[in-house]
């Protein structure tokens, strides 16, 4: 079997990742909610893709920071992620990724490390599988289904 080379994040990688998430938060376009979010995604090759929330006058068209980062990475050919850092202006506790973003991240790896960081630089790490138990992922589409469920 071919061995996959995975870049194990060092503490310097993580510091850089947290800094990128912080910088991305400052680029948030959120004139309606005034709620800034920054995210930074680390690939298994050691690259970082960051993103901010991008709102729209047609409110439901808003893109979350996490989704911006995923779309940037995937559109540059990166699909293997080890870690995401997410930061907002919530000072008491942490703001977690919304349900839609959890699902978007679950497409790629439920073992993803999710760091939530607040403005006091406190942080908490979760595995994505903890944040989205019994996730629906591409593997579910591969599972055998009962004949009566198959529509052809």
Ligand X SMILES: O=c1ccn([C@H]2C[C@H](O)[C@@H](CO)O2)c(=O)[nH]1
Task: Give the residue numbers of the binding site for Zn(2+).
Answer: 64, 98, 101
Of 64 and 112, which has the nearer Cβ to ligand X? 64
The least distance separating ligand X from the CB of residue 101, rounded to whole angstroms, comes to 5
Which one of 2, 15, 16, 66 is the catalytic residue? 66
List, as residue ranges, the binding site: 53-59, 64, 98, 101
Of 48 and 64, which has the nearer Cβ to ligand X? 64
Label each residue of the chain as H, E or C. Answer: CCCCCCCCCCHHHHHHHHHHHHHHHCCCECCCCCCCEEEEEEECCCCEEEEECECCCCHHHCECHHHHHHHHHHHCCCCCEEEEEEEECCCCCCCCCCHHHHHHHHCCCCCCEEEEECCCCCEEEEEHHHHCCCCCCHHHHHCCCCHHHCCC
Say whether 16 is catalytic.
Answer: no
The least distance separating ligand X from the CB of residue 14, rounded to whole angstroms, comes to 20
Q: Which positions touch Zn ion (CB under 5 A)?
A: 64, 98, 100-101
Q: Which positions touch ligand X (CB under 6 A)?
A: 30, 33, 35, 37, 53, 55, 62, 64-66, 97-98, 101
Active-site amino acid positions: 66
């Amino acid at each position: 079997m071919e061995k996959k080379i995975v870049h194990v994040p060092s503490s310097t990688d993580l510091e850089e990742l947290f800094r990128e998430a912080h910088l991305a938060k400052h680029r948030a376009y959120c004139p309606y909610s005034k709620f800034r979010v920054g995210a930074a995604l680390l690939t298994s090759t050691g690259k970082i893709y960051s993103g901010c929330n991008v709102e729209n006058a047609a409110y439901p068209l808003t893109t979350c920071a996490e989704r911006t980062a995923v779309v940037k990475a995937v559109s540059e050919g990166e699909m293997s992620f080890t870690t995401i850092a997410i930061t907002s202006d919530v000072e008491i506790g942490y703001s977690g990724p919304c349900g839609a973003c959890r699902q978007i991240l679950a497409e790629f790896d439920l073992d993803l490390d999710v760091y939530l960081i607040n403005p006091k630089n406190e942080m908490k790490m979760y595995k994505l599988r903890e944040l989205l138990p019994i996730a629906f992922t591409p593997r579910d589409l591969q599972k055998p289904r009962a004949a009566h469920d198959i529509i052809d």
